[in-house]
Amino acid sequence: MAVYDLIVIGGGPGGYVCAIRAGQLGLSVACVESRETLGGTCLNVGCIPSKALLHASHQYHEAIHNFPKVGIVTDSPSIDWDKMLAYKQSTIDANTGGIEFLFKKNKVDWIKGKGQIVEPGKVQVGDQTFETRNIVIATGSEPSSLKGVKVDEKTVVTSTGALELSSIPAELVIIGAGVIGLELGSVYARLGTKVTVLEYLNGITPGMDAEVSKTLQRILKRQGMDFKLGVEVTSVAKKGKANSVEFKIRKTGKVETIKADIILLSTGRRPYTDGLGLEKLGIGLTGQGQIEVDSIFQTNIKGIYAIGDVTPGPMLAHKAEDEGVAVAEEIAGNKGYVNHDVIPSVIYTQPEVATVGKTEEQLKEEGVDYKIGKFPFQGNARAKSIFQASGFVKMLADRETDKILGCHIIGPSASDLIQEVCLGLEFGVSAEDIALTCHGHPTYSEAVKEAALACGDGAIHA
């Protein structure tokens, strides 16, 4: 059997992108993936299906709340849940099918099954062993478990089960106010579910700029989501048909319970490395079970690399994708490049939240002398015209040099707006550079320009 230049284990955003790039660079490459379809968690049970349901539920919200305001008269809109799920599935199929097409186009062999590294240069899948000069581990992550909570993916679910509930729940309790809890909570709150979020910390979205986090919580509360902060969930038990969640109020130690027909466990994810044979190979792991890699994503074993969620850093598809490209370049003898200081984070609620660079809290802690340029979407004509004027752009720049240090956006299309700032951070631009760049009118992006102006003499429309 021929020896591959590269075998990638895992066909998610990190792995499939790595395999495609390696194919483009002329390497002989195979990707081992055990799912029926390519695309990993992101395309099958994560980013893509959740965005489909976020879109559908937002449309429903618009039909009820904003159609009448713009003169569209409809009979009372209602939900066909099966059809909504079918739409979600069609979105998944179109995207996973697309990756299969790209594999064929770039001569990437898809080896179906679970891969195990039996020794450097040898990957076993089922009863076949494949030889390769290099191996990239891109096996991603899985939901973390929580003591006292038994997931059945029917009534006690992770994000996977929450994306295919048999009906829209009347009451949903979410454990953990991170990205997954808030995005899926938004979906069901818009569809009429009573949503309660239980969070261990005293604020939502840990690590995010506190002003943005507080604003998001306020807006989500207005949309009907209830938050219980500073509480530790200790167990979930079945009581008749309903589930009952027991939690402790951390400040007082008082124990309370709450009932719900569906419980979503979203308390983080952990690296998925089961069955890879890492221990036998002696591959170095961090205390959290992530695979340790060097600056070119190589593990302590020559020729075995790792990227994405199995390695340290944020568990984000775009981080994994960029690492996939970089490691393919390195294996092909080129230079790979990922700037881990400029990786945006997005929450696809309505409004969206997008952030990049330092938060105000981090700058304070590091003793950096910074200035803030803030602009509310209330002053943005385009946002006002579509009833999405809550939120703001907050630009942080060095007080002396004016160099941009971070940007935090809560508002319409924040996920796209942040890219301008990412580019700025890559090139080390100043707030003035953005302020002097002509932005189209009327666009949401004018709010970014105005926030940059606010870092200097002041915004125009505020």
Q: Which residues are catalytic, by number?
A: 441
Q: Which two tokens stand for residue 335?
A: 């230079």
| Of the candidate residues 201, 285, 372, 422, the single one contacting ligand NAI (CB under 6 A) | 201
Walk across the sheet containing 226-229 and list its strands.
156-157, 262-265, 171-175, 194-199, 226-229
Q: Is residue 22 within 8 Å of 57, Cβ to Cβ? A: no
Nearest CB to ligand NAI, comparing residues 122 and 270: 270
Of the residues 22, 30, 135, 180, which one makes contact with ligand NAI according to CB under 6 A: 180
φ, ψ of residue 401 to 5 degrees: the values are -90, -15
Which residue in the shown chain puts its C-beta closest to ligand NAI?
Answer: 178
Minimum distance between the CB of residue 319 and ligand NAI, rounded to whole angstroms? 9
CB of 187 to ligand NAI, least distance (A): 12
Nearer to ligand NAI, 115 or 324 (CB): 324
Q: Decide if residue 263 touches ligand NAI (CB under 6 A).
A: no
197 touches ligand NAI by CB under 6 A: no
Q: By CB under 6 A, tell whether 227 contacts ligand NAI.
A: no
The yes or no reply on residue 198 touching ligand NAI (CB under 6 A) is yes
Residue 217 is a binding residue for ligand NAI (CB under 6 A): no
Q: Is 409 exposed, middle or buried (0-12, 13-18, 19+ CB in 10 A)?
A: buried
Told to check if 189 binds ligand NAI by CB under 6 A, we report: no
Residues between 110 and 149 with contacts to ligand NAI, criterion CB under 6 A: 146
- Identify the residue among 85, 125, 151, 316 touching ligand NAI (CB under 6 A): 316
# of chain residues touching ligand NAI (CB under 6 A): 26
Candidate list 26, 206, 275, 458; residue touching ligand NAI; CB under 6 A: 206
Told to check if 258 binds ligand NAI by CB under 6 A, we report no
Residue 358 lies near ligand NAI (rule: CB under 6 A): no
Q: Minimum Å distance from CB 358 to ligand NAI?
A: 18
Binding site for ligand NAI (CB under 6 A): 146, 175-181, 183, 198-201, 206, 232-233, 266-269, 314-316, 346-348
